[in-house]
Amino acid sequence: MITQYFRPVTIEEALKYLSQKNKSIVPLGGGTVLSKKTIQEDFEVVDLQKIGLDLFQISGNQLTLGAACTLQFLLGKQELQEDLRHAISRETNLHMRNMATIGGTIISADGCSPALTALSALDARLIWQPENVGILLGEWLPFRKSEKPGLLLEKIMLNSQLKLNIKLLARSPQDYPLASLAVAQWPGGRTRVVMGVQRDKYPVLVMDGTSPQGAFEAAEHTCKTILAGYKHEAYLTSVIPEMIKQMTQAAS
């Protein structure tokens, strides 16, 4: 359970708290995960709501999302790709979107997270403090549980010019998806495909190529690899490659 609560007002102050040795201290975004009563171990939290991480900036083609931007705040930003906003809207319900931050989502969302899948497809770059360490989301996700590039995720950087196509497989229009599929395409043709399924701990890269070519085969291969033995294996391995094929064609 939470034994101490801190609310710093600067990044530096937050980093000072977070850098204390021999203590279990974690950053608190929206609190939607860390507030759970069932967490038995003792830890301290550093609430990030007042350190200015809720900025949304546009600079040329580059979008910068402060890690403490709430999902609902981002949903209102027309500068974000429509499909990214769609993915964010399907991350959780309205009340939780008013609380949950994009940074917290990146840190804790599961393998089927629509937002995480979309951001990974967009090849989002994460900036960590201290030392302003930059790392691509897709490169970091496999090591998310074990390695953090810094003490504090400060911001997420995106290219606003990319085309994004999202498909969520779900039982109903607002159901949390069984599978999240995202295809991002750069103006030069680079195509990045990411899929998330509930079984995995993070969305996985299907393909990152100079063109959409080979997306179907890559999806088939990825499905065979990561869905083997999964209860939805037959369904997903049949449907996902076809959907990705159609999505890449649509993106082209």
Partner 1 sequence: MEINLNLNGKLVQWDAEPSDTLLTVLRREGYMGVKSGGCENGECGACAVLMDGKPVNTCAMLAAQADGHAIETIESLGEHPEKGWAGSIGLHPIQQAFVEVGAVQCGFCTPAFILAAKALLDVEPNPTEEMIREAISGVLCRCTGYLKPVQAIQRAAAVLRGEQVEPINPEGLAVPPEWLKPVNEPNVPFEPEGMGDSIVQTKVVPKIWVTPDTVPLTTVGKPEQKVDAIKLVQGKPVFTDDIELRNMLVAKVLHSPVAHANIKHIDTSKAKALPGVAAVLTWQDIPRVVYSTAGQSDPMPGPLDTFSLDNKVRFVGDRVAFVAAETEAIAMKALSLIDVEYEELPILLDSEQSMQPGAPILHDEPEYVNFDLSDPSKNIAAQLRVDIGDIEKGFKEADRIFEEEYEVPKVQQAHIETHVVITQWDEDERLVIRTSTQVPFHVRRILAPVLGLPMKRIRVIKPRIGGGFGGKQEVMIEDVAAHLTIVTKRPVRYEYTREEEFIAARSRHPMKFRLKTGVKNDGTITANEMYCLTDTGAYGCHAMTVTGNTGHKAMALYVGDGEYRKSPNIRFYADIVYTNTPPAGAFRGYGAPQGFWPVERQLDKIARALGMDPIALRLKNCLRPGELHPFSTVWSEGREPMPEIINTVGLEECVEKGTAEIGWYQKSDNEDWRTVPDKPYLRRGIGVAFAMHGTAIPYLDMGGASIKMNEDGSFNLLIGATDLGTGSDTVLAQMAAEVLGVKVDDMIVYSSDTDFTPFDKGAYASSTTYISGAAAVYAAQKVADRVKERAARLINDKHKTTYIASDIRLANRLAYAPDGQCVSMSEIGHSTIHHFDQEQIMGVASYVSPVSPPPFAVQFAEVTVDTRTGEVVVDSLLMAVDSGVIVNPLTAVGQVEGGMTQALGYAVTEEMTYDEKGKANEIDLVDYHIYRANEMPQLNTIFIQTYEPSHPFGVKAVAEITMDAVAPAVANAIYDACGASLYRNPATPERVWDALQIIHAEQS
Please give the residue ranges that form the binding site for partner 1 (CB under 8 A): 1-5, 7, 28, 30-32, 34-38, 40, 44-45, 47, 49, 72, 92-96, 98-99, 169-176, 178, 232, 235, 238-239, 242-243, 246
129, 131, 132, 135 alpha-carbon torsion, rounded to 10°: -90
Closer by beta carbon to partner 1, 62 or else 93:
93
Closer by beta carbon to partner 1, 112 or else 126:
112
Smallest gap from Cβ 136 to partner 1, in A, equals 29
The continuous run of DSSP H or E covering 104 comes out as helix 102-108
Smallest gap from Cβ 137 to partner 1, in A, equals 23
Smallest gap from Cβ 24 to partner 1, in A, equals 13
Closer by beta carbon to partner 1, 45 or else 207:
45
Closer by beta carbon to partner 1, 94 or else 136:
94
Smallest gap from Cβ 170 to partner 1, in A, equals 7
Closer by beta carbon to partner 1, 11 or else 239:
239
Contact 196, 116 (CB under 8 A): yes
Smallest gap from Cβ 78 to partner 1, in A, equals 17
Closer by beta carbon to partner 1, 70 or else 81:
70
In angstroms, rounded to a whole number, what is the distance separating the alpha carbons of residues 133 and 63? 18
Smallest gap from Cβ 1 to partner 1, in A, equals 4
Neighbours of 247 (CB within 10 A): 24
Q: 165, 80, 170: which is closest to 121 by C-alpha?
A: 165
In angstroms, rounded to a whole number, what is the distance separating the alpha carbons of residues 90 and 180? 10
In angstroms, rounded to a whole number, what is the distance separating the alpha carbons of residues 66 and 129? 13
List C-alpha distances in Å: 35 to 30, 99, 146, 158, 189: 9, 12, 22, 29, 43
Strands 125-129 and 133-136, bridge-based pairing: antiparallel
